Amino acid sequence: RARARCAGRRDGAERMVRRVMIAVAAALVVLGARGAAAAALQEPVVADCSGGDGEAGAVTLTVKKGTVTVAGAVEYDARVYEYEGEIMVPGPTIVMQAGTRCEVTIVNELEDVAANSECPMHENDFHCPDVTNLHTHGLHVSPDEDNIDTHVSPGESLTYTYNLPVDHLPGTHWYHAHHHGSTALQVSGGMLGMLQVVAAEAPDGEALPLAMPADLAALYADDDNVHDLVLMHMNFAGQGDGTPPFGAMLDMPGISAAYGGGTQSVPLNAELADADVDDFYVVNGQLSPSVDIAPNSVSLLRLVNGGGTRSLFLELDDDGACELRLIARDGVFQYLDDNDAYPAVSRIVMVPGTRADVALLCGSAAAGTTIDVNAAHVTDTMLGSENVFGPQTAVLRLPPPPPAA
């Protein structure tokens, strides 16, 4: 995988986790009975867009109608990304490299229907449901390259060219559809994905400016133990929940209906597995996926809150068995001092669109246990209060140590 370009070896550390699980479950959904088998976490496909030797990297995302299935929760039709012949929700993790050029082409294969004809492209209300574009968060590039005033109508395509400076810091970012008039419709349906920047390759005998410490570079380079986790809020529950500042935000059926049923190329057609479970979160398009982790090892979780309707707190219910350290927020690394002491945190605050890179270490006392990961959505705009609605739990499964030889 492309991020393995960041080479190195972590001094004094055990081999890191084999598999990691974190899931934000549905409101009123318990993630299955303790010990029950859960679906294995599926990480997004990696789309390498790092160029080199004067050539640009290239990724093509095709926008089309697709049926999204979240096992155990819902099936619905939506506008989605297709990459290399496969429909993906979320879209692939696009990897770019500092000092190179990346070209992302959006091909719109949606049906051109009445709602898209003579579109008022720049009105900020519900219109043009099948017109799209591409917007990134976190890239230090020209606004002419990341231009939300562009539009890609059905039957059209557009290539976005990103020239990353050689001193662009590595980091975790994201991308999504952002045509004003169809943003909420397309993003809530799944038109989003993680974006990662890796450091430029240093010329022989030279050091890069602001290079990662060797141990941190090794942590990011361990593909088996670095996990990309895109959180999506799926709300089929009706007209908002009163949570500021988005208390009046429509749910997915409401947004879809705002365009008029007769003009839709992609009616939502949502079918819930349980009518009482209509407001929930998924991780990488899955409801409560599960992965085992090993005690006495370090894992790196790259988190994206891929939505615009709720801020979240994530915290462990583990009686101190595990430790969280904040490595980076929105691509900004939290170096505290020369001793590489990254701040210990008791919870991760995830406002809409934010990213967090978090190191997780669970001690030997946790072996053979399960650990809850609790989520709460924030109920005021200053992050001062919270509301846990239903058992919002996830499970870190720590297998027992192997028997003594």
pLDDT computed for residue 261 by the predictor: 61
Q: Does residue 161 register a pLDDT over 90?
A: yes
30-34, 62-66, 121-125, 189-193 — which is least confidently predicted?
30-34
Q: Does residue 43 register a pLDDT over 80?
A: yes
CA gap 344, 137 in Å, rounded: 26
pLDDT band at 38 (very low <50, low <70, confident <90, very high): low
Over residues 96-144, the pLDDT tens digits come to: 999 999 999 999 999 987 666 667 667 778 888 999 999 999 999 999 9
Distances (CA, A) of 336 to 165, 253, 324, 339, 342: 25, 46, 15, 8, 6
Predicted model pTM? 0.84
Question: Is the bond leading into 90 cis (omega within 30 degrees of zero)?
Answer: yes
Bigger pLDDT: 391 vs 167? 167
Domains and CATH numbers, the chain: 46-202 (2.60.40.420), 232-247+268-398 (2.60.40.420)
Helices (H), 32-93: none
Contacts of 396 (CB under 8 A, 6+ apart): 20, 21, 22, 293, 316, 318, 322, 362, 370, 371, 373
Q: Classify residue 323 as exposed, middle or buried by CB count within 10 Å of its CB (0-12, 13-18, 19+).
A: middle
pLDDT computed for residue 303 by the predictor: 93
* Nearest residue to 29 (alpha-carbon basis) of 283, 369, 291, 284: 283
pLDDT computed for residue 333 by the predictor: 87
CA gap 120, 110 in Å, rounded: 18
